[in-house]
Amino acid sequence: MALLKARHEQRRDIANIDTLIEVAESVDLEMPRFRKDISDRKLLAKLAEDHTYAVDTLGVFGTPTLVFPEEQVVFLKMTVPPSEECLSIFNELCNLVERRQFIREVKRPQRPET
């Protein structure tokens, strides 16, 4: 969630290592482990492999994208919800994806500000 906020609300560059470290510190990650993992080339290779699979096989083009059973892929464009609503939103989305496979896209166009 902190990365989403940094990227979409604060418009920070989350590809920048300094930004990643600041975000990690802000959420009290175990920093020695974080620094070790972020510099591990094997983990980077695994991330690249997963990214390639997601794009080439599943058609993923953005985040957040969720992959449900039977490789049902759903992209969401949303603002950050209140934390107390996250679980109910996820459950409602799961229900929609599982029961209404014929729904391909739901979009709410942004209205011009008046």
pLDDT tens-digit map of 49-79: 999 999 999 999 887 888 888 878 888 888 7
Q: How many CB atoms lie within 10 A of CB 35?
A: 14
Does the pLDDT at position 114 exceed 70?
no
Q: What is the pLDDT of residue 34?
A: 95
Does any domain span residue 40?
no
Number of structural domains found in the chain: 1
Domain coverage including residue 88:
60-114
Does any domain span residue 64?
yes
Does any domain span residue 44?
no
Does any domain span residue 18?
no
Average pLDDT over residues 15-28: 95
Indicate the Cα dihedral angle 17, 23, 27, 28, nearest 10°: 40
Does any domain span residue 27?
no
Q: Tell how far CA 50 is from the center of its chain.
A: 14
Q: Which is nearest to 72 in space by CA: 86, 89, 58?
A: 58
Does any domain span residue 100?
yes
pTM of the model: 0.64
Q: What is the pLDDT of residue 19?
A: 96
The overall average pLDDT reported for the chain is 89
Does any domain span residue 92?
yes
